[in-house]
Amino acid sequence: MEIILIQDVPNLGFKDDMVTVKDGYARNYLIPKGMGILAIASEKKKLAETIKQRAFKEEKLKKEADKIAEKMTDIHVKIGAKAGTTGKIFGSVNALQIAEAIKSQYDIDIDRKKIVVDGAAVKEVGVYTAKINLHKEVRFDIKFEVIAE
């Protein structure tokens, strides 16, 4: 059965994708939970028009993300944190603190939800890597250093 996804479904597809699934999965899970609709002719036409209109907006967003990514190549963000004598910091460094440090040091505004810190929580002084996902196709890593204040 062909289904048009209304929202992102893990391990199946993204919003506005047309996917083929088993009948029971579509009728008993996707459609009742509002995750998808039947791919009938009229819905396919609506989907085609939506994708056509969204393509222009997506291209613009991707260009903006590319510009920010170019600005952020080879930057090194420093984040100050209160630390003990052993190098362990009080609390942890999270995506919000990284976003604020980038804004204050480089005047680049990045949403904290687009920053993913590698590994577990940052709880010691040192150099770490964070992934920034600006767009589906624009992802890059930045290095940040946690220093004791």
pTM of the model: 0.68
- For residues 87 and 56, state if they share a domain: no
Residues 62 and 88 in one domain: no
Q: Which amino acid appears at position 149 of this protein?
A: E
pLDDT in tens, the chain (149 residues): 999 999 999 899 889 999 999 999 999 999 999 999 999 999 999 999 998 888 888 899 999 999 999 988 888 999 999 999 898 999 999 999 999 999 999 999 999 989 999 777 799 999 999 999 888 888 899 999 999 98
Q: Which residue range forms the structural domain that includes residue 64?
A: 2-68
85 and 137 fall within a common domain: yes
Residue 145, SS3 per DSSP: strand
Q: Residue 105, by phi and psi: left (phi above 0), alpha (psi -120 to 50) or beta?
A: alpha
